[in-house]
Structure 1
Amino acid sequence: MVWHDTDNDETMVARKRPAGEIFRRVFGYVGRYPAFAAGTMLCAVLTTVAGLAFPKLTQVLVDQLIAGTTGERIWWMAGALLGACFLRDFFNFLRIQLNNRFEQRVIFDMRRDLYDKLQRLSVRYYDQRATGDLMTRVIDDVNAVERVLIDGIEQGTVSVLAIAGVGYMMFTFSPQLTGWALVPIPLLVGGALVYTLTAHNRYRRVREATSEMNALLNDNLQGIRQIKGYGREPHELARFAEKAGKLRAATLVVMSAWSVYGPAMEFAAWLGYVVVFGLGGWMVWQGRLTVGELVGFLGYVGMFYGPVRSLHGLNQLFQAGRAAGERVFDILDAPVEVGEKPGAHVLTKTRGEVVFENVRFEYRPGLPVLHDISIQARPGETIALVGPTGSGKTTVVNLLARFYDVTGGRILLDGHDLRDVTLASLRQQIGIVSQEAFLFNGTIRENILYGRLDASEAEMIAAAQAANCHEFIQRLPQGYDSKVGERGVKLSVGEKQRVSIARALLKDPPILILDEATASVDTATEKLIQEALERLMAHRTSFVIAHRLSTVRHADQILVLKAGRIIERGTHEELMERGGLYAHLCRVQSTALTIEEQIEAEAAAR
């Protein structure tokens, strides 16, 4: 394993973007559904228009009651009010129904696009980012952007339409009073501008602190056995408290700013109402305005400043959404380092001839980890990679699977440059069994079938039998339907390894990568795994990495790596005769039996 240096081992800070870019891209998703957008807008307009009738009808009713001319028309007016109320709520119901479906389609598209991009990003991208940070972006940050869409489209559109419609009705009542009602507007606009210009950094700090805390939490949950084993619970609690404290402090800064901004804007909005109440009362006293007109106008003022206050409330969500949107689009805009060329062709079933031609590779520019690696593996051959830790063995097989692209030289599969074929067809030709067998949190059946989703029951069982895991699976209470737990925690290391071998057998690839596949198991389990691997490797081109040199003795070629270079190559016998590094490693291992091997040897001697 070669050390991969990264710029940040916890979270990656998103690039700061202009607000216009964030919201243009967020609302760009809206354009995918023009019919829903138009229907929602139409219902919002009709809801607003129906609501505008209330103050006008109230004005007429009050004036007629005072004049004593209402008579039986009061029932007609009550019916008109009821009808306006019904139409307003009916169109509002339609708006909500359309908007809900509209928004969920948009959010689904955003989540799907985000997950699709995560699937296409190279392994290098994940080397540089904490899992908890990415989880925060996919879940929490998308939810924050979702709130912008929900409240921005629904409340924002309705509020703007209401302000326009109510403003027009106010002007028809009294242009003079309308002018006085707008006195607080400069204060509201100025306050919103100041808050908006200063809020972004505060919300960025909250999002970043959330990611840091989630990254630590994810790391600790993954390493809970190590924490308990070393008795480091107090230490980790202190670390978590530090991250949680940072989030608390950042959140309090946001809340403190809002505690000033929110009430101040509320007070400014009420100034308009108070001014109209005082000036309108004076105009009624002078006979320039009827009581009904004042009551109706005050109704419109209340309807005017309600949406204004809603828009100020949305400002807080917009700032949070902007900070979250930066982090979401940081993923969507990340370059795909290992991509497909235009016109890349599909590999069909290959023979398994693999050629490395003067391959060079570096994780970071100017720091090469592989130098002029040349390998030729004929179909069905076994190529063993040995050498000290950090010599580049795993990097070689990672390049074969095209988890990374070579920096120089090229890799050919049956004469095809790996960069000229589609990634899906390339990886369909390769099976991987690694030291830390990864099992998904599901059933054993689901994990084996991951190798070939359309395999039959008989094919799955045959693969399990060949991998020496059918017997222990049958002993489990639910057999193949037994849950394995997160990362296969309910199974032993050897059991997980054999399930992963069954998965590879079911895939039936022409090329195999076995990365320390028999490490970390006892000798008895190693024999079971080795038997399964021999069946798996039969008639397949195999690249084998192993610390236990006994597992690579029969390889067709053994390549000895040191500091990213091949320093020896040949068969076991040839390399032993040369007396180089390989021979030295074999002699060291032959005198270093594990405790389990010693116990087994002593037991056999008795």
Structure 2
Amino acid sequence: MSKDSKHQGPGGRGPGGGGFGPMGMGMAPQKAKDFKGTLKRLITYLNPYKLQLLAVLITAIISTVFSIVSPKIMGKATTRLFEGLMAKLRGVQGAKIDFDYIGQIILLLIGLYIISAIFAYIQQYIMAGVAQKTVYNLRKEVEEKLNRLPLKYFDSRTHGEILSRAVNDVDNISTTLQQSLTQLITSVVTLLGVIVMMLSISPLMTLIVVLTIPLSFVAIMKIAKKSQIYFKGQQKSLGQLNGHVEEMYTGHKVIKVFGREQQSIETLEKTNEDLFQSGWKAQFMSGMIMPLMSFINNIGYVLVSVVGGLLVTKKAIEIGDIQAFIQYARQFSQPITQTANIANVIQSTIASAERVFEILDETEEVPEAVAAKEIMAPKGEVSFVHVSFSYKENEPLIEDMNIEVKPGQRVAIVGPTGAGKTTLINLLMRFYELNSGKILIDGIDTRELRREKLRSLFGMVLQDTWLFNSTIRDNIAYGREGATKAEIVAAAQAANADHFIRTLPEGYDTILNEEASNISQGQKQLLTIARAILANPAILILDEATSSVDTRTEVQIQKAMDHLMKGRTSFVIAHRLSTIRDADLILVMNHGTVIEKGTHEELLEKGGFYADLYNSQFTVNQKNAG
């Protein structure tokens, strides 16, 4: 589990997430900042499906109505059975139980329940289609938006947060639309229908049942308020436990090396104890809701039975009506509880929608040029003309930078951490927009090229290798669409990777795992070089490609890179200055400015910043060798 995976959506659908007590009353929903505005905006996504939603409403009403009238009809059968039985007991001549009538009632009820089930199925089927289409459109919109967002958006947020919004929050909306919306309609219709049916039987008994509602609400609200505190504590402890387990798992070797097993166990036990304490209190408090509601409802049933019995003795209502009324009274509390639960879920869903809409409202990349140019035969000439850039306003990083790189030149960029080396590459690839000035490739401003066409001119080999969970063949072929098997093998041979690939059990069909840990770091780097060779770019970017490998592997990689750089303009970011002595041009950067430039010999003769850097590394290497 990565650190990013700890981010959960508002729905709390991760491990242990949600804090649901019985009937969901213990849930502590995340609140939206602008509930009404977000709800209105979410409804606009449902506008194209007005007819389907109307069909859902009609089928829900029909299904619920057929279900609601059934107890009253059943009451007639009970009344007829009771009357026949009493007539027999009184010794009335020819008295008998009318089983034909009761049989007809039972057949009618079976028919009603079947019709109710059919309409409930149609309702769920239509709503599932509406929900999935709506969420499909929303997810598609989010995906397209993410493709249009600038790199700074992703740099300023964790992967987990973005994934949480794009996956968890959208799933939360999907679940609510498909389940909670239909449940809400059914609950409202059931509540109204039950009240109507109870009033048709006895207004007095209806009043008794209705009077139990405030008592139920007071009990629920008091317990829910208390349990929410414990549920928050439970979620906090759960997050700490997940974080601790993840940290201990990923840092297992370090813990062993420094002998910190006991401290780790003690921390785990303390966090686990906190989780246990808050967890059982939360479950206990929310678990009290059902018994309390049952107790209050049972008081209502007792009163209904007593009053109903008195009304039957006075011939005011029939005994079957009491049986039907008790059924309605039992149904009465269910939609209220469901509606209260759905209110929490909707609150959480609107919060999720708000988080998704925040992505959709983000500032996009600068639009592409209307009449975009294209470099048909790139030479690789690069010019920085009075370039200025800053990540934050009023905090300039690069000011008035001017660089001229001729086609085929090997340019090394050196300098301390934070000097702006990687920023230079980001600007070259147009991952960030310039504040002022311009960057030209073969005399054409990069802003006049489509980003896709601009980036196709470059090939990159980075310090952090980026390989996919697929075959070695697919990973190399990623460099060029439609590459043949022979071209892939030729690229691997040029990168000195063919030999080690063929020694693997499956050769080019060997599947790399998610982190490509089933091959060595040097082998990974050779594959990324093979991919860059296959792409055949006009300009190369090499960012510390040999920094994390041993000396022998470095020689192999260096040979592969030399082959790759032949005849191409190359930008090499390096910390080990010994690797860039043969560069045609060395740019020495500090605080976002090119403070020195020239060849290795020229810069050493100057005795400036580069000479100090080089000599300090040379001295360190000498000491290490000693």
Bin of the TM-score, shorter chain as denominator length? 0.7 to 0.9
Counterparts of 2:243 and 2:444 in 1: how far apart (Å)? 40
Unaligned runs of 5+ in 2: 11-29, 85-96
Task: Kindly indicate whether residue 546 of structure 2 is the aligned counterpart of residue 518 of structure 1.
Answer: yes
Q: 1:93 aligns with which of 90, 114, 121?
A: 121
CA displacement at 1:493 relative to structure 2: 1.5
Task: Kindly indicate whether residue 453 of structure 2 is the aligned counterpart of residue 425 of structure 1.
Answer: yes
Q: 1:44 aligns with which of 48, 60, 64?
A: 60
Contact 2:31 2:347 in 1 (8 A): no
Which has the larger displacement, 25-34 or 174-183? 25-34
CA displacement at 1:279 relative to structure 2: 2.5
Task: Kindly indicate whether residue 313 of structure 2 is the aligned counterpart of residue 299 of structure 1.
Answer: no
TM-superposition CA deviations, 1:379-437 (whole Å, max 9, x none) = 33322101223322122112222333334444344455445554433333322211121
Q: 1:464 aligns with which of 453, 478, 492?
A: 492
- Please show how residues 585-596 of structure 1 align to structure 2 within 5 Å: 585-590=613-618, 593=621
Counterparts of 2:451 and 2:73 in 1: how far apart (Å)? 68
Contact 1:430 1:512 in 2 (8 A): yes
CA displacement at 1:97 relative to structure 2: 3.5
Match of 1:495 in 2: 523
3-state secondary structure, aligned to 1:374: strand
CA displacement at 1:439 relative to structure 2: 1.8
Q: 1:335 aligns with which of 362, 372, 378?
A: 362
Check 1:94–1:15 CA distance in 2 against 1; reply closer, same or farther (3 A cut): closer
Check 1:224–1:448 CA distance in 2 against 1; reply closer, same or farther (3 A cut): farther
Counterparts of 2:455 and 2:357 in 1: how far apart (Å)? 28
Task: Kindly indicate whether residue 549 of structure 2 is the aligned counterpart of residue 533 of structure 1.
Answer: no
- Please show how residues 234-249 of structure 1 align to structure 2 within 5 Å: none
CA displacement at 1:256 relative to structure 2: 5.9
- Please show how residues 12-51 of structure 1 align to structure 2 within 5 Å: 17-21=33-37, 23-24=39-40, 29-31=45-47, 33-34=49-50, 36-51=52-67
- Please show how residues 34-113 of structure 1 align to structure 2 within 5 Å: 34=50, 36-68=52-84, 70=98, 72-113=100-141
Task: Kindly indicate whether residue 372 of structure 2 is the aligned counterpart of residue 372 of structure 1.
Answer: no
Give TM-score scaled by structure 2 length: 0.80
Check 1:274–1:45 CA distance in 2 against 1; reply closer, same or farther (3 A cut): same
Q: 1:444 aligns with which of 472, 487, 492?
A: 472
Check 1:16–1:47 CA distance in 2 against 1; reply closer, same or farther (3 A cut): closer
Match of 2:25 in 1: none
CA displacement at 1:469 relative to structure 2: 0.8
Residue identity matched to 2:478: Y
User: Between Structure 1 and Structure 2, how many residues are aligned?
Assistant: 589
CA displacement at 1:257 relative to structure 2: 5.6
Check 1:345–1:233 CA distance in 2 against 1; reply closer, same or farther (3 A cut): farther
Residue identity matched to 1:307: P
Counterparts of 1:218 and 1:29 in 2: how far apart (Å)? 39
CA displacement at 1:478 relative to structure 2: 0.9
Counterparts of 2:237 and 2:366 in 1: how far apart (Å)? 32
- Please show how residues 117-516 of structure 1 align to structure 2 within 5 Å: 117-136=145-164, 140-187=168-215, 226-228=254-256, 230-233=258-261, 255=283, 258-259=286-287, 261=289, 263-318=291-346, 320-321=348-349, 327-330=355-358, 332-333=359-360, 335-336=362-363, 338-340=365-367, 343=370, 345=372, 347=374, 349=376, 350-419=378-447, 421-516=449-544
Contact 2:31 2:351 in 1 (8 A): no
Identity %: 35
Residue identity matched to 1:178: T
Which has the larger displacement, 351-360 or 284-293? 351-360
CA displacement at 1:80 relative to structure 2: 0.8
Match of 2:18 in 1: none
Contact 2:381 2:569 in 1 (8 A): yes
Counterparts of 2:274 and 2:431 in 1: how far apart (Å)? 36
Check 1:139–1:244 CA distance in 2 against 1; reply closer, same or farther (3 A cut): farther
Contact 1:61 1:70 in 2 (8 A): no
Residue identity matched to 2:493: Q
Contact 1:345 1:420 in 2 (8 A): yes
Residue identity matched to 1:558: I
Give TM-score scaled by structure 1 length: 0.83
Residue identity matched to 1:577: E
TM-superposition CA deviations, 1:181-235 (whole Å, max 9, x none) = 3223344566677789999898778777766766666666555555555555555
Counterparts of 1:217 and 1:419 in 2: how far apart (Å)? 47
CA displacement at 1:155 relative to structure 2: 1.9
Counterparts of 1:159 and 1:499 in 2: how far apart (Å)? 59
Check 1:32–1:272 CA distance in 2 against 1; reply closer, same or farther (3 A cut): farther
Contact 1:391 1:564 in 2 (8 A): yes
Counterparts of 2:173 and 2:278 in 1: how far apart (Å)? 19
Counterparts of 2:579 and 2:556 in 1: how far apart (Å)? 13
Contact 1:27 1:149 in 2 (8 A): no
Check 1:137–1:203 CA distance in 2 against 1; reply closer, same or farther (3 A cut): farther
Contact 1:359 1:410 in 2 (8 A): yes
Counterparts of 1:338 and 1:226 in 2: how far apart (Å)? 42
Counterparts of 1:44 and 1:188 in 2: how far apart (Å)? 27
3-state secondary structure, aligned to 1:451: coil
Unaligned runs of 5+ in 1: 1-7, 600-606
TM-superposition CA deviations, 1:464-517 (whole Å, max 9, x none) = 122111111111001122132232212212111111111222223322211111
Contact 2:383 2:402 in 1 (8 A): yes
Residue identity matched to 1:572: H
Check 1:32–1:441 CA distance in 2 against 1; reply closer, same or farther (3 A cut): farther
3-state secondary structure, aligned to 1:433: strand
Residue identity matched to 1:51: S
Counterparts of 1:64 and 1:420 in 2: how far apart (Å)? 88
CA displacement at 1:559 relative to structure 2: 0.6
CA displacement at 1:308 relative to structure 2: 2.1
Counterparts of 1:157 and 1:184 in 2: how far apart (Å)? 23
Counterparts of 1:412 and 1:198 in 2: how far apart (Å)? 64
Check 1:251–1:393 CA distance in 2 against 1; reply closer, same or farther (3 A cut): farther
Counterparts of 2:160 and 2:62 in 1: how far apart (Å)? 45
Q: 2:598 aligns with which of 553, 560, 570?
A: 570
Which has the larger displacement, 537-546 or 122-131? 122-131
3-state secondary structure, aligned to 1:544: strand
Check 1:260–1:354 CA distance in 2 against 1; reply closer, same or farther (3 A cut): farther
Which has the larger displacement, 231-240 or 475-484? 231-240
TM-superposition CA deviations, 1:336-381 (whole Å, max 9, x none) = 4645358484755544333323333333444333333222223333
Contact 1:11 1:129 in 2 (8 A): no
Counterparts of 2:167 and 2:266 in 1: how far apart (Å)? 26
Residue identity matched to 1:40: V
Counterparts of 2:132 and 2:325 in 1: how far apart (Å)? 38
